[in-house]
Amino acid sequence: MKITVDGLDATQNLVKTLRAWTFRAVILGGVSFAGFNVIDPTIVYEEFGKPVIVISRTKPDNKAVKRALHCHFEDWQSRWAVFEKSDLIHTVLVLVNEPPVYVETVGAPIKWAVLLIRALSVYSRIPEPIRTARLIARGLS
Protein backbone atom coordinates (compact mmCIF):
# COMPACT_ATOMS: atom_id res chain seq x y z
CA MET A 1 0.00 0.00 0.00
CA LYS A 2 1.39 3.38 -0.98
CA ILE A 3 0.04 6.57 0.61
CA THR A 4 0.75 10.24 0.08
CA VAL A 5 2.82 12.16 2.62
CA ASP A 6 0.37 14.43 4.49
CA GLY A 7 -2.36 13.22 2.12
CA LEU A 8 -5.89 12.06 2.76
CA ASP A 9 -5.71 8.59 1.22
CA ALA A 10 -4.56 6.35 4.11
CA THR A 11 -8.01 5.17 5.24
CA GLN A 12 -9.20 4.38 1.71
CA ASN A 13 -5.97 2.56 0.86
CA LEU A 14 -6.11 0.50 4.05
CA VAL A 15 -9.73 -0.48 3.35
CA LYS A 16 -8.82 -1.42 -0.22
CA THR A 17 -5.88 -3.53 0.99
CA LEU A 18 -7.88 -5.27 3.72
CA ARG A 19 -10.56 -6.38 1.23
CA ALA A 20 -8.10 -9.00 -0.03
CA TRP A 21 -7.51 -10.46 3.45
CA THR A 22 -9.31 -12.56 6.02
CA PHE A 23 -8.72 -11.23 9.53
CA ARG A 24 -10.28 -11.01 12.98
CA ALA A 25 -8.97 -7.59 14.05
CA VAL A 26 -6.92 -4.66 12.84
CA ILE A 27 -4.08 -3.37 15.00
CA LEU A 28 -2.67 0.04 14.11
CA GLY A 29 0.51 1.61 15.48
CA GLY A 30 -1.21 4.99 15.75
CA VAL A 31 -3.55 6.79 13.36
CA SER A 32 -1.05 9.11 11.65
CA PHE A 33 1.05 7.72 8.81
CA ALA A 34 3.33 9.51 6.35
CA GLY A 35 3.16 12.69 8.37
CA PHE A 36 -0.47 13.56 8.95
CA ASN A 37 -2.18 11.14 6.57
CA VAL A 38 -4.63 9.78 9.13
CA ILE A 39 -6.45 6.46 9.21
CA ASP A 40 -9.95 6.67 10.64
CA PRO A 41 -10.42 3.53 12.79
CA THR A 42 -14.19 4.08 12.88
CA ILE A 43 -14.46 3.84 9.09
CA VAL A 44 -12.33 0.68 9.07
CA TYR A 45 -14.57 -0.87 11.74
CA GLU A 46 -17.76 0.14 9.93
CA GLU A 47 -16.46 -1.24 6.63
CA PHE A 48 -15.56 -4.70 7.97
CA GLY A 49 -17.31 -5.08 11.32
CA LYS A 50 -13.99 -6.16 12.83
CA PRO A 51 -12.43 -4.59 15.93
CA VAL A 52 -9.76 -1.96 15.44
CA ILE A 53 -7.09 -1.46 18.09
CA VAL A 54 -4.85 1.61 18.01
CA ILE A 55 -1.70 1.29 20.08
CA SER A 56 0.87 3.97 20.88
CA ARG A 57 4.22 3.82 22.66
CA THR A 58 3.77 7.33 24.04
CA LYS A 59 0.77 9.06 25.54
CA PRO A 60 -1.03 10.94 22.78
CA ASP A 61 -0.93 14.74 23.12
CA ASN A 62 -4.04 15.75 21.24
CA LYS A 63 -3.63 19.43 22.10
CA ALA A 64 -0.26 19.46 20.33
CA VAL A 65 -1.73 17.49 17.41
CA LYS A 66 -4.56 19.99 17.02
CA ARG A 67 -2.12 22.93 17.09
CA ALA A 68 0.10 21.28 14.45
CA LEU A 69 -2.85 20.47 12.21
CA HIS A 70 -4.23 24.00 12.55
CA CYS A 71 -0.85 25.56 11.69
CA HIS A 72 0.00 23.37 8.71
CA PHE A 73 -3.23 22.36 6.98
CA GLU A 74 -6.10 24.34 5.51
CA ASP A 75 -8.24 21.20 5.86
CA TRP A 76 -7.17 20.65 9.47
CA GLN A 77 -10.77 20.15 10.67
CA SER A 78 -11.26 17.00 8.58
CA ARG A 79 -8.02 15.52 9.91
CA TRP A 80 -8.79 16.61 13.47
CA ALA A 81 -12.20 14.90 13.26
CA VAL A 82 -10.42 11.51 13.39
CA PHE A 83 -8.76 12.45 16.68
CA GLU A 84 -12.01 13.85 18.10
CA LYS A 85 -13.69 10.47 17.61
CA SER A 86 -11.22 8.92 20.05
CA ASP A 87 -13.32 7.95 23.00
CA LEU A 88 -11.07 6.86 25.76
CA ILE A 89 -7.38 6.16 25.56
CA HIS A 90 -6.45 3.42 28.01
CA THR A 91 -3.10 3.04 29.75
CA VAL A 92 -2.13 -0.63 29.51
CA LEU A 93 0.73 -2.49 31.20
CA VAL A 94 1.79 -5.23 28.81
CA LEU A 95 5.00 -6.58 30.35
CA VAL A 96 6.38 -6.36 33.87
CA ASN A 97 9.12 -3.74 34.29
CA GLU A 98 8.18 -2.05 31.00
CA PRO A 99 6.43 1.31 30.53
CA PRO A 100 2.74 1.18 29.57
CA VAL A 101 1.30 1.52 26.09
CA TYR A 102 -1.72 3.61 25.21
CA VAL A 103 -4.64 1.89 23.58
CA GLU A 104 -7.88 2.91 21.92
CA THR A 105 -10.43 0.39 20.70
CA VAL A 106 -13.25 0.59 18.19
CA GLY A 107 -15.71 -2.29 18.12
CA ALA A 108 -14.24 -4.28 21.01
CA PRO A 109 -14.06 -4.01 24.79
CA ILE A 110 -10.72 -2.93 26.23
CA LYS A 111 -10.38 -6.21 28.18
CA TRP A 112 -10.42 -8.18 24.92
CA ALA A 113 -7.92 -5.79 23.33
CA VAL A 114 -5.56 -6.09 26.31
CA LEU A 115 -5.63 -9.89 26.09
CA LEU A 116 -4.82 -9.74 22.36
CA ILE A 117 -2.03 -7.20 22.86
CA ARG A 118 -0.45 -9.26 25.64
CA ALA A 119 -0.70 -12.46 23.58
CA LEU A 120 1.08 -10.78 20.65
CA SER A 121 3.75 -9.02 22.73
CA VAL A 122 6.60 -11.50 22.94
CA TYR A 123 9.84 -9.51 22.97
CA SER A 124 8.60 -6.04 23.93
CA ARG A 125 5.52 -4.15 25.05
CA ILE A 126 4.62 -3.58 21.40
CA PRO A 127 2.76 -6.45 19.68
CA GLU A 128 4.96 -8.36 17.24
CA PRO A 129 2.94 -7.42 14.10
CA ILE A 130 3.40 -3.70 14.86
CA ARG A 131 7.05 -4.12 15.88
CA THR A 132 7.83 -6.08 12.72
CA ALA A 133 5.98 -3.61 10.47
CA ARG A 134 8.01 -0.75 11.96
CA LEU A 135 11.27 -2.63 11.35
CA ILE A 136 10.32 -3.25 7.73
CA ALA A 137 9.21 0.36 7.20
CA ARG A 138 12.47 1.69 8.62
CA GLY A 139 14.41 -0.60 6.31
CA LEU A 140 12.50 0.67 3.29
CA SER A 141 12.74 4.37 4.07
- Domain residue ranges of the chain, discontinuous segments joined by +: 10-140
Question: Residues 20-31: pLDDT tens digits?
Answer: 999 999 999 999
The answer on pLDDT for 87 being more than 70 is: no
Question: Residues 16-72: pLDDT tens digits?
Answer: 999 999 999 999 999 999 999 999 999 999 999 999 999 999 999 989 999 999 999
pLDDT of residue 85: 85
- C-alpha–C-alpha distance, residues 91 and 40, integer Å: 21
pTM of the model: 0.92
pLDDT of residue 104: 96
| 33-36 LR contacts (CB < 8 Å, sep 24+) | 33/3, 34/3, 34/4, 34/5, 34/6, 34/7, 34/10, 35/5, 35/6, 36/6, 36/68, 36/69, 36/72, 36/73, 36/79
- For domain 10-140, the CATH class is alpha beta
